[in-house]
Amino acid sequence: DIVMTQTPLSSPVTLGQPASISCRSSQSLVHNDGNTYLSWLQQRPGQPPRLLIYKISNRFSGVPDRFSGSGAGTDFTLKISRVEAEDVGVYYCMQAAQFPWTFGQGTKVEIK
């Protein structure tokens, strides 16, 4: 199975400041079809997960443009340009290059 490792596991951030989460996979996430299937999800307290980003950098419908994704191969990053109070929660990366699909451990974003 592909192991997804996120850093940091906790990220205290000042409102209005940027935040960055790293996700590294144990092997390349480039699929046989040439696409890289890495997505990012947000889970607010008491809520189900919500899709933010798919295929590395594509924002899902309704996701604010302060969220952006980048990376390639085995190294990926989610950035929040200016953290707002509603961004508090746990963020997960997920790989879908190979079954079983696997998630990172999660990064908790909280306000300082």
Partner 1 sequence: QVQLVESGGGVVQPGTSLRLSCAVSGFTFSDSVMHWVRQAPGRGLEWVARISHDATSKLYAGSVEGRFTISRDDSLYSLYLQMNSLRPEDTAVYYCARDLRDNWAIDYWGRGTLVTVST
Binding site for partner 1 (CB under 8 A): 1, 31, 35, 37, 39, 41, 47-51, 54-55, 58, 60, 92, 94, 96-97, 99-106
CB 31 within 8 A of CB 37: yes
Residues 6+ apart with CB under 8 A from 108: 9, 10, 11, 89, 90
Cβ-based nearer residue to partner 1, 55 or 66: 55
Q: Which long-range contacts (CB under 8 A, 24 or more apart) does 47-54 make?
A: 47/89, 49/92, 52/78, 52/91, 53/78
Least distance in angstroms from the C-beta of 57 to partner 1: 12
Cβ-based nearer residue to partner 1, 19 or 39: 39
Least distance in angstroms from the C-beta of 17 to partner 1: 26
Cβ-based nearer residue to partner 1, 81 or 106: 106
Structure tokens at 81: 């340009």
Say which residue the tokens 């590395």 belong to: 56
Cβ-based nearer residue to partner 1, 66 or 103: 103
Least distance in angstroms from the C-beta of 92 to partner 1: 6
